[in-house]
Amino acid sequence: MTFQGAFTALVTPFKDGAIDQDAYRELIEWQIEQGIDGLVPCGTTGEAATMTHEEQGEAIRICVEQAKGRVPVIAGAGSNNTKEAVYLTDLAKKAGADATLQITPYYNKPTPQGLLEHFKALSKEASMPFFLYNVPGRTGLNAQPETIARIAREVPDVIGVKEATGNLEQCSNLIEQCPEGFIVFSGDDFTVLPLLSIGGHGAISVVSNIAPKLMSEMCAAYRAGNTAKAKEIHYKLQPLNRAMFIETNPIPVKTSLGMMGKLETSFRLPIVPLLPENELKLKNILKENGII
């Protein structure tokens, strides 16, 4: 499998308190038809933090089954508990995922050595390719480039990183210090194109839930050397990028998919529906940009 381009951090449709399998399969199929390069179930956008382990395994299995090998699947399987991360990784492996996404342990705030040991243990006990996920806005911990570079050198299963600091200087230092071939995905839709320009490989994207074609075309245009087209799409996406974060992710993007008729707009506590005034703003932005 090739890990480059636009990967969608999939939402998880719920209905009557359970995963809406039909809506999930239809969403995955639409994503592939629209030209998405890969799929990432059970991440932050997929509300994995509100799901049981059994549900996470089910969501990953459905995604792999529906993808049918047409695009790679990177399954969210991280935890702040190393044993739990091992267990979730085993579930992802059994479901047939191509790789996993492993968040830096949140709340615990491990030292750089603690991060290294966490990922070493994961690799030893549940070996399969994985991407480290650095998102300090969610975890309270910013894994520095030298720490990630050390993990990349000492843990053979780590093949890349989802870098969600939004800090291009840090991203540049990261790419400079990591081994050749280490895959760097943007975890911030605002910075996908700038990151591509300094050696990044693509995005694990929120906005591609509603605009998969645009995000995949932007990444493809840049790879083909058509920087003018890539820049044009970047600015076309910016209003949508802003709209996806008018409240906590995944509230706006899931609401958008509901407005598009792709799923029932249903969340799990502590995630709650969009405020009415923001729902009106979102609807107007989606209309103005041809999404609905």
How much of the chain exceeds pLDDT 70, in percent? 100
Structural domain includes residue 243: no
Structural domain includes residue 181: yes
Burial class (CB in 10 A: 0-12, 13-18, 19+), 85: buried
**Number of domains forming the structure of the chain:** 1
Structural domain includes residue 246: no
Of 76, 74, 2, 62, give the one whose Cα is nearest residue 29: 62
pLDDT at 12: 98
Contact 216, 14 (CB under 8 A): no
Q: What value does the mean pLDDT of the chain take?
A: 97
Return d(Cα 166, Cα 154) in angstroms, integer: 26
Task: Tell me, rounded to whole angstroms, the distance of Cα 13 from its chain centroid.
Answer: 16
Q: Give the strand pairing for 38-40 and 5-9.
A: parallel
Return d(Cα 216, Cα 91) in angstroms, integer: 29
Question: Residue range 152-171: average pLDDT?
Answer: 97
Domain that holds residue 65: 5-224
Q: Please, which pLDDT band fits residue 243 given cuts at 50, 70 and 90?
A: very high
Return d(Cα 41, Cα 63) in angstroms, integer: 7
Q: Please, which pLDDT band fits residue 117 given cuts at 50, 70 and 90?
A: very high
Contact 239, 214 (CB under 8 A): no
Structural domain includes residue 120: yes
Residues acting as catalytic residues: 133, 162
210-225, pLDDT tens digit by residue? 999 999 999 999 999 9
Return d(Cα 269, Cα 85) in angstroms, integer: 23
CATH of the domain at 68: 3.20.20.70
Question: Residue range 147-176: average pLDDT?
Answer: 97
For 115, other C-beta atoms within 10 Å of its C-beta total 22
Contact 61, 42 (CB under 8 A): no
The answer to the question of whether 265 is labelled as a binding residue is: no
Structural domain includes residue 209: yes
Question: Residue range 146-153: average pLDDT?
Answer: 98
The answer to the question of whether 204 is labelled as a binding residue is: yes
How much of the chain exceeds pLDDT 90, in percent? 99
Structural domain includes residue 33: yes
Question: Residue range 61-74: average pLDDT?
Answer: 98
Q: Please, which pLDDT band fits residue 56 given cuts at 50, 70 and 90?
A: very high
pLDDT at 1: 76
Structural domain includes residue 290: no
Q: Which amino acid is at 242?
A: R
Structural domain includes residue 268: no
- Angle in degrees, CA 159, 160, 165, rounded to 5: 160
Question: Residue range 157-173: average pLDDT?
Answer: 97
pTM for the complete prediction?
Answer: 0.97
Return d(Cα 50, Cα 113) in angstroms, integer: 29
